[in-house]
Amino acid sequence: MSPPQDRPAVTQETLARDLSQLGLSPGDVVFLHSSLKSLGWVEGGPDAVIDAFLEVVGGEGLIVVPTFTWCFAHGGPARFAFDPRETPSRVGKITDTLWRRPNAYRSAHPTHSIAAIGHRAQELVAGHDKTSTFGKDGPYGRYVEWGAKILFLGVDLCCNTALHAIEDWLDLPYLQVEEAIVKGPGDTPQIVDVTKSPSGDRDFYRRDSKVERLLRQAGIIRRGKVGAADTLWMPSQEMVEVVVKGIYQEPALLLCDREGCEFCDRYRQPTIDHIRESRPQV
């Protein structure tokens, strides 16, 4: 297959060059949200994209992707039992290709698993199971501690799951317990509770959200082109700092202000009370 005549070819080499120009370096830890089709026609497909990232961060670097499956027992799109060795990722071709590589490690979380390749990959995903989706002692806490860059390749900040980690660390009252389906002993489907699950609405699921404006004002978002994709990234530690300060100022920052949003209406006042009374620390 050859590239369309009217567009320049996107290759592993051009992608690696673009990523370096955007500010990625050897040794980086990168949490990658992605859309393959946003890049234009890529010679070598998703594998070329993954190889470009691995090339730029090098042997001391680490690439992490969400491989969410949303295997909820009720109301989810995927009513089948989760198995980290076979359940496809539902968040894009790049993520679904990455976890299948022999040197990738995938976590066992039934709805929000992640996968990683590179330095300390196994350590990153360790212990990520139903008991804590975004817990500080799990992958989200580790990658922030390791100074990860959160990168949005052709997607916008609506998919910034690290914001759910901040909700978890501040113990905000609107994370829920949900039932998920996993493969139990003898491959029998088994229903398990997932604690602190990010159900319900959020303001940042829409463009130009309150938190997006806050992050823009803080000046921590770097932008550029990778292939044809509008791409941005920000340092996770600075993001956590800015958002936590923002939540102290406005506790319902991550909830929406739309009229008639039952979820956000229900949890607005309990969230304000929780932040004002408990002053939780991350």
How far is Cα 228 from Cα 117, in angstroms, rounded to an integer? Answer: 25
Q: DSSP secondary-structure letter at 159?
A: G
Task: Tell whether residue 48 is a contact of Zn ion (CB under 5 A).
Answer: no
Task: Tell whether residue 71 is a contact of Zn ion (CB under 5 A).
Answer: no
How far is Cα 183 from Cα 189, in angstroms, rounded to an integer? Answer: 5
Count the site residues for Zn ion by CB under 5 A.
4
Q: How far is the CB of 76 from Zn ion (least distance, A)?
A: 19
User: Of these, 256, 267, 274, 275, which contacts Zn ion (CB under 5 A)?
Assistant: 256
Task: Tell whether residue 158 is a contact of Zn ion (CB under 5 A).
Answer: no
Q: How far is the CB of 47 from Zn ion (least distance, A)?
A: 39
How far is Cα 150 from Cα 45, in angstroms, rounded to an integer? Answer: 22
Task: Tell whether residue 47 is a contact of Zn ion (CB under 5 A).
Answer: no
Task: Tell whether residue 151 is a contact of Zn ion (CB under 5 A).
Answer: no
Q: Please give the residues from 165 up to 224 whose contact with Zn ion meets the rule CB under 5 A.
A: 201
Q: How far is the CB of 255 from Zn ion (least distance, A)?
A: 6
CA distances to 2, 52, 233 from 149, in Å: 33, 16, 6
Is 261 or 282 the residue whose CB approaches Zn ion more closely? Answer: 261
| 3-state secondary structure (DSSP) of residue 34 | strand
Is 93 or 266 the residue whose CB approaches Zn ion more closely? Answer: 266
Residue 59: how many other CB atoms lie within 10 Å: 9
Q: How far is the CB of 133 from Zn ion (least distance, A)?
A: 20
| DSSP secondary structure of 249-281 | HSTTTTS---TT-HHHHHHHHHHHHHHHHH---
The region of 8-16, 41-49, 171-179, 250-258 touching Zn ion under the rule CB under 5 A is 250-258
Task: Tell whether residue 261 is a contact of Zn ion (CB under 5 A).
Answer: yes
Is 57 or 256 the residue whose CB approaches Zn ion more closely? Answer: 256
Q: How far is the CB of 261 from Zn ion (least distance, A)?
A: 3
Task: Tell whether residue 229 is a contact of Zn ion (CB under 5 A).
Answer: no
Is residue 234 within 8 Å of residue 149, measured between CB atoms?
yes
Alpha-carbon 50 to chain mean position: 16
Closest-CA residue to 128 (of 147, 145, 141):
141
Q: How far is the CB of 203 from Zn ion (least distance, A)?
A: 7
Residues that bind Zn ion in the complex, under the rule CB under 5 A: 201, 256, 261, 264
